[in-house]
Amino acid sequence: MRRERFDKMNVVPFIDIVLVLLVIVLATATFVTNKTIKVDLPTASSQKKEELKSIILAIDKEGKYFFDKEPLSLEAVKQKLGKLDPKKDVVSLHTDKETAFHYFVDIIDFMKGKGFENISIVTKQ
């Protein structure tokens, strides 16, 4: 009695396991919530990658200010910005496209007055 050589591998069980794992990942990924401030960014053709270590300053469409996801008044934001180093710290400005322009100008004017050099205005492509 002669046995056949085993030279072929059956990959069907492997595919079944991978598909089950994929379903599990997709099912659990929908339950993860992203706790961010809802801001609809305007588009721009010139876009630069955002630095990883930066202070996020957001203005929503109602004109509310958020400093690192913490809602603050304009004066409180100015106080926190005044404590930063204008030469080293990077400030990323996220402004909703429907925000009144004077909210944006208030922040930019204050930061330019303090000598901030690293200001990034975040847009989407």
Backbone angles phi, psi at 73, to 5 degrees: -80, 170
pLDDT value, residue 20: 93
- Asked whether the whole model's pTM tops 0.75, one would answer no
24-28, 92-96, 102-106: segment of lowest average pLDDT: 24-28
Over 70: is that where the pLDDT of 107 sits?
yes
For residue range 15-68, what is the model confidence (pLDDT) as tens digits? 999 999 999 888 877 665 556 667 777 777 776 654 445 788 999 988 899 998
pLDDT value, residue 51: 44
| The dihedral formed by the CA atoms of 47, 51, 55 and 56, expressed in degrees to the nearest 10 | 40
Contacts of residue 119, Cβ cutoff 8 Å, sequence gap at least 6: 90, 91, 93, 108, 111
